[in-house]
Amino acid sequence: MSNAKPWGGRFEGPTDAVVEAFTSSIEDDKNIALEDVEGSIAHATMLGEAGIVSASDAAQMVAGLETIRGELEAGTFPWDETFEDVHMNVERRLATHVGEEIAGRLHTGRARNDQVALDSRLYLRRTLTAIEAALVAIEKALIDQAKKNVDTLLPGYTHMQRGQPVRLAHHLLAYREMFARDRGRVRDTLKRALVSPLGSGALAGTPHPIRRERVAELLGLAGVTPNSMDAVADRDAFLEAMSASAISMVHLSRFSEEIVLWATAEFSFVKISDAFTTGSSMMPQKKNPDVAELVRGKCGRVIGDLVALLVTMKALPMTYNRDLQEDKPPLYSSLSTWRASLEVTARMLPAITFDAARMRAALVEGFVTATELADHLVQNGVPFREAHGVVGRIVAHCVAESKTLEDLDLPALRTFHPSFADDAMEWVDVEVAIERRDLPGGPAKKRVLEAIAAAEAELA
């Protein structure tokens, strides 16, 4: 490995080989190589239009960069580890296509500081656009399952205890709401990220008469950053993207946790197809929900990536510091893990079969309509706190006698309180209980069908 410094004549001695290896970012930079070329094409075009370099030189630079883009896309680009980053690799490769003198003009009016800031924003555009598509796919998969399970009833849980009856479709649409918010966070991140920092230079701009707005226009960006110092020091877009990633991975982890639980013999609410399960090396009877478990496990890595960058950023003075080389590994890890987790979960969802009979049986076992009896008393003038205590004693009686609420009759209810009306036993019917909750955001069939239609319309 060469110890030469490509960035000027300030140094008399070579860099230590261990230092070169330690400071190199080549492997990470490969993630933004296409963006580096894209930004350089726009910059070269602008240099020519502004008369900072000749039109001929600009045209040759653009043609050479187009060739390099083709090499990168084909996987034939000759990465050279003697150059510490993607920027110098591209510039040195350009020199082989158009000559040293013309290639040497490419960096006019910019620094690596604003160059990498631009590359990173373009990377976010490409990656978050793909992630938004993955979020749409998982939302559609949840909606499809909801449409199939509008009439499937199960207990809703609090504290992992059976609470009240709901429709499975309503439960699934709760997750769809989470991923829809994640998609909104992606769009919000891109709104702030997609402006051009190029022209900020190392920290204080450039004396060359560059046209910052033209570069932004060529790249399809919304505008330019307003402060050169902030532009090269800012990593908020990374932090926003990684925050969105961590929140979304928590949503994926929560969903995965329920699938893992529901696949147990103790619940037996779901069956997962063989394509998304694995076996045991010792126990032949096992069918493990490994995909869901891995998604749940990867959540921790993504949260760790966010924390890593927050800690890196927390004490950096203005403007660029070499610590910022450590911004991209957690970003790449976070977003690639998030995207893969979304994509595999979206593929797994159609492979899940829900056991409607088992879910319905769980409704009988858990006193899930006890609240209905309390509400019935409230409608007949009993204060809620008193009604709550009355029904609590009824449940305790049923537990002691190994009975369900459905095993009782009106005379039995009236031994606990005289205000139970003639229709009291109708209130313990789970379907009636669900349909009584006919309000926006509720689990009544009409409301669930409206929610499905609204979700489909929003995605369309």
Which positions are catalytic? 159, 280
Q: Which amino acid is at 354?
A: F
Rounded Cα distance between 103 and 94, Å, is 6
How far, CA to CA in Å, does 446 sit from each of 175, 255, 450? Answer: 19, 25, 6
Cβ atoms 143, 450 nearer than 8 A:
no
Name the helix (H) or strand (E) containing 338: helix 328-348
Q: Is 84 helix (H, G, I), strand (E, B) or coil?
A: coil
Rounded Cα distance between 183 and 187, Å, is 6
Rounded Cα distance between 291 and 284, Å, is 19
Rounded Cα distance between 195 and 223, Å, is 5
Task: Write down how long the chain is.
Answer: 460
* φ/ψ bin of 238: left (φ > 0), alpha (ψ from -120 to 50), beta (otherwise): alpha
Q: Is 272 helix (H, G, I), strand (E, B) or coil?
A: strand
Picking from 105, 70, 72, 101, the residue whose alpha carbon sits closest to that of residue 89 is: 72
What angle, 0 to 180 degrees and rounded to 10, lies between the N-to-C axes of helices 112-148 and 33-49?
130
Rounded Cα distance between 451 and 460, Å, is 14
**Number of Cβ atoms within 10 Å of the Cβ of 322:** 7
Rounded Cα distance between 43 and 219, Å, is 10
Which DSSP letter does residue 16 get?
P
Strand 352-354 and strand 270-272: pairing? antiparallel
Alpha-carbon torsion (364, 368, 374, 375), positive or negative: negative
Name the helix (H) or strand (E) containing 155: strand 153-158
Half-sphere exposure of 17 (CA within 13 A, CB side): 2
Q: Is 354 helix (H, G, I), strand (E, B) or coil?
A: strand
Cβ atoms 192, 240 nearer than 8 A:
yes
